[in-house]
Chain A
Amino acid sequence: MDALHEFLSGPALYVTLVIFFGGLIIRAAFLLGLSRGKDQVFYDHFSWSWALRSVLAWLLPWGSRSLRTQPLMAIVFFLFHLCLLATPIFLSAHNILWEGWAGWSLPTLPGIVADVMTLVVLGGVVFLFIRRLVRPEVRLISTLGDYLLLLLTAAPFATGILAQYQIGGPYDLMMVLHILSAEVLLIIIPFSKLGHLILFFFTRAFIGVDMGARRNCQGRLGAKVW
């Protein structure tokens, strides 16, 4: 178990981070390159103001008309994403490891806050899972992959908190599962729907520009897509 732990938190972690960041960068670079030829419309009418407002409005829980129409979904959506990103980055245990390696660390979350945020992520997964099952318009378009990705997203959080409180199994095993599931998740992100981590910014910018900036001239108004 120790050897496995060693491997996962050593070489496997390096490889994971290279694939994760490299994958995201290569994917974005590939799409940007492709867009020069086939998505000229984006550049013809580009406007930072319309692009950024379109992105920002959708980063806020009730920043868009769409999410305001489903307030519960909006708040869960927002908290889920916030905690999903912030917890691992600002977790004390992660930063201690990071400091040992890099010599510096980020500000860290108090343990209880991190615990609550982890539970928010898990609660969010449960909510989104159930929502997929009970709303007919969501269930119809949901694929096996959608459910699996939700479970995979939950896995590092579930195993992390279980390991910390030593529930459900030996600490070592939980820790191995925690690192393993996190690495699988990070590797999958650039090559799956979870790539929306970065693609979101491009697609939102496009629609903001296309329905906004493109029409917003010669006395016309652009439609705010938020």
Chain B
Amino acid sequence: MSEQAQTGAEATEAKPTEDPKAVEAPAAPVDTKKIQQILAANNGARMRSWLNICAHCGLCAESCFFYLAHDKDPKLSPAYKVKVTTGELYKRKGKVDRAWLEEAHEVIWGQCTMCRRCSMFCPFGIDIATMIGVSRAVCNSQGVLPEGLARAKQNIIESGNQMAVSEEDWTETCDWMAEEYAEEIAGLEIPIDKKGVKYMYTVNPREPAFYPQDLGQMAQILHVAEESWTVPRQGWDGTNLAMFAGDAAVAAIPVRNMYQAAIDLEAEQILMTECGHAYRSGAFEGPYWLGLPGGRPPVPVKHAVQLFWEYIVRDGRIKIDPAKMITEPATLQDPCNVSRNGGLWQMMRDLARALCTDFRDMDPNCEYNHCCGGGGGFIPMGAEFKARRMQSGRIKAEQIKATGAKIMISPCHNCFDQLNDLNKEYELGIKVLSFKEIITECMIIPEKFIVSDNGD
């Protein structure tokens, strides 16, 4: 859903929409005006061209993993999915009822992860994900959206981050991790709100909420590289589930907080954890929700993969111990928003080869990768979507099986969860790891950072 599914005239204003739970009452009337506003806001030259020229050639079908995973069900071809949703919305000039919206909900959230692979296979290069994004915006405006995303939106509105982690919990987690890992790396700290640093580091809220060691691992790498960095007290959530809810107004909130924090802290760059959609939001889509001129973030956004590549492959700032490299066969998941939509596929491969002695690529790979099936908001959409996630993930599972890999590297939190679920479902016998985890296991800790036991 490239840059924007604008929510009408006030697209760039962070004005929360109505409480998602309140509108679930079946009797709620459809606000046709609102729908028409969204359709009009998005009815530019691209949308008109796309709607008009799709030649119904069907070349997009084979590109879609939903289609492939369901024995080529023609109803899962991208052209069909966009025809019955956004195409229909424009055709009916927004005059649809609630039943229609519910049906569209099935298609736009349950059958598309907005991975954008189909656009590479369309002769006209129609940006189907962006078109689906408009339907998401329309459904969202009527309170028709997956509960998990509605909850995340509510959390963002109330707390500024999608999991409602409080500021105390966040800073305490940072302090706790700093303390914990200082026992392994001498002098390690996690600076909070330090001014004038090179990198302001932002994370996925599931790190402070469920996987604090992820933060600790990053601190180890940054400390060993003797980096100038900080985490912000506010604006540390790089993720953006409102983007997948199709709510540009709410999606603008965390991005604005993050940019503002970087500007206030005079950070040179924003550094992002190993998360795909956060990168898409911060580096590419965010500037459009905020209406920034030139469509670029005010502070450059760097993904962790790129930083690791610079440290290990380009600069040798972090040295890998050859004896500790991963020797089991390893493969790599290209998260759509890190590879195809983030441009980092080559760096990931360089890194994987620097860390693993037996790296095996999947096919297709790089910018042509298949989505794992957990993208586009699927993972946080929760249990009701899990069966579908497992079914459509069959393509990814088969790709992994074909490599014979035992280690699965995934620089994205959503892929990480999906791959773990696929591992169980399809008995793949893999272990899913982030780059951080592997690097902290394999890197050489310089003398001065080794904690001496005979000290105090």
| A interface residue numbers (CB < 8 A to B) | 31-32, 34-35, 37-42, 44-45, 54, 58, 64-67, 69-70, 73, 132, 135-143, 146, 193, 195-196, 199-200, 202-204, 206-208, 210-211, 214-216, 218-226
From residue A78, how far is it (CB to closest CB) to chain B in Å? 11
Which residues between 3 and 21 of chain B lie within 8 Å of chain A, taking CB atoms?
3-4
Q: Is B122 an interface residue (CB 8 A)?
A: yes
Across the interface, A204 reaches (CB within 8 A) one of B124, B288, B295, B340, namely B124
Q: Is B449 an interface residue (CB 8 A)?
A: no
Q: Which residues of B contact A223 (CB under 8 A)?
A: 120, 340-341, 343, 367
- Contacts A40-B295, A202-B49 hold; do A66 and B122 have CB atoms under 8 A apart? yes
Q: Name 30 A/B residue pairs within 8 A (Cβ), A-sorted.
A: A31-B45, A31-B49, A32-B45, A37-B44, A38-B43, A65-B121, A65-B368, A66-B121, A69-B62, A138-B56, A140-B80, A141-B77, A193-B52, A199-B49, A199-B124, A200-B124, A203-B126, A207-B119, A207-B125, A207-B127, A211-B116, A214-B284, A215-B284, A215-B342, A219-B347, A220-B344, A222-B343, A223-B341, A225-B119, A225-B120
Interface size class of B (residues with CB under 8 A): 35 or more
> Knowing that A143-B56, A226-B120 are A-B contacts, what are 20 other residue pairs whose CB atoms are under 8 Å apart, sorted by A's residue number?
A35-B44, A38-B46, A64-B123, A66-B59, A66-B120, A67-B59, A70-B59, A137-B58, A137-B67, A137-B72, A137-B74, A137-B77, A141-B58, A146-B56, A193-B53, A199-B124, A204-B123, A211-B119, A216-B343, A219-B306
| B interface residue numbers (CB < 8 A to A) | 2-4, 41-46, 48-50, 52-59, 61-63, 67, 72, 74-75, 77, 79-80, 83, 116, 119-127, 284, 288, 294-296, 300, 302, 306, 340-347, 367-368
Docked CA distance A32–B63 (Å): 30
Q: Is the interface of A mostly helix, strand, loop or mixed?
A: helix
Nearest B-chain residue to A43, judged by Cβ? B295
Docked CA distance A44–B54 (Å): 25
Docked CA distance A223–B295 (Å): 19
Q: Is the CB of A65 within 8 A of B72?
A: no
The tally of CB-CB contacts under 8 A between chains A and B is 155
Q: Which residues of A contact B124 (CB under 8 A)?
A: 196, 199-200, 203-204
Q: Which residues of B contact A139 (CB under 8 A)?
A: 74
From residue A144, how far is it (CB to closest CB) to chain B in Å? 11
Q: Which residues of A contact B284 (CB under 8 A)?
A: 214-215
Q: Which residues of A contact B54 (CB under 8 A)?
A: 193
Q: Is the CB of B295 within 8 A of A45?
A: yes
From residue B385, how far is it (CB to closest CB) to chain A in Å? 24
Residue picked from A139, A141, A208, most chain B C-beta under 10 Å: A141
Q: Is the CB of B57 within 8 A of A138?
A: yes
- Contacts A38-B45, A41-B288 hold; do A200 and B53 have CB atoms under 8 A apart? yes
- Contacts A139-B74, A225-B125 hold; do A34 and B56 have CB atoms under 8 A apart? no
Docked CA distance A214–B52 (Å): 25
Q: Which residues of B contact A220 (CB under 8 A)?
A: 306, 342-344
Nearest A-chain residue to B340, judged by Cβ? A223
Q: Is the CB of A34 within 8 A of B343?
A: no
Docked CA distance A88–B437 (Å): 64
Q: Is the CB of A215 within 8 A of B125?
A: no
Docked CA distance A40–B46 (Å): 10
Across the interface, B55 reaches (CB within 8 A) one of A67, A196, A214, namely A196
- Contacts A193-B53, A199-B53, A211-B116 hold; do A39 and B342 have CB atoms under 8 A apart? no
Docked CA distance A38–B39 (Å): 12
From residue A195, how far is it (CB to closest CB) to chain B in Å? 6
Q: Which residues of A contact B127 (CB under 8 A)?
A: 206-207, 210
Q: Which residues of A contact B345 (CB under 8 A)?
A: 221
Q: Is the CB of A39 within 8 A of B77?
A: no
Q: Which residues of A contact B55 (CB under 8 A)?
A: 146, 193, 196
Q: Is the CB of A66 within 8 A of B44?
A: no
Q: Which residues of A contact B77 (CB under 8 A)?
A: 137, 140-141
Docked CA distance A146–B125 (Å): 19
Docked CA distance A222–B63 (Å): 19
- Contacts A65-B368, A135-B58 hold; do A203 and B46 have CB atoms under 8 A apart? yes
Residue picked from B43, B55, B63, B79, most chain A C-beta under 10 Å: B55
Docked CA distance A218–B297 (Å): 13
What 9 A-B pairs have minimum CB-CB distances, sorted nearest first?
Answer: A38-B44, A207-B125, A220-B343, A35-B45, A44-B295, A138-B58, A215-B343, A223-B367, A66-B121
Q: Is the CB of A199 within 8 A of B52?
A: yes
Q: Is the CB of B295 within 8 A of A195?
A: no
Docked CA distance A139–B56 (Å): 9
Across the interface, B125 reaches (CB within 8 A) one of A39, A140, A203, A221, namely A203
Docked CA distance A210–B1 (Å): 11
From residue A114, how far is it (CB to closest CB) to chain B in Å? 26
Docked CA distance A137–B77 (Å): 7
From residue A203, how far is it (CB to closest CB) to chain B in Å? 5
Docked CA distance A218–B343 (Å): 10
From residue B142, how far is it (CB to closest CB) to chain A in Å? 23
Nearest B-chain residue to A70, judged by Cβ? B59
Nearest A-chain residue to B364, judged by Cβ? A65
From residue B43, how far is it (CB to closest CB) to chain A in Å? 7
- Contacts A199-B52, A204-B124 hold; do A224 and B367 have CB atoms under 8 A apart? yes
Residue picked from B125, B288, B347, most chain A C-beta under 10 Å: B125
Docked CA distance A215–B366 (Å): 14
Q: Is the CB of B79 within 8 A of A141?
A: yes
Q: Which residues of A contact B50 (CB under 8 A)?
A: 203
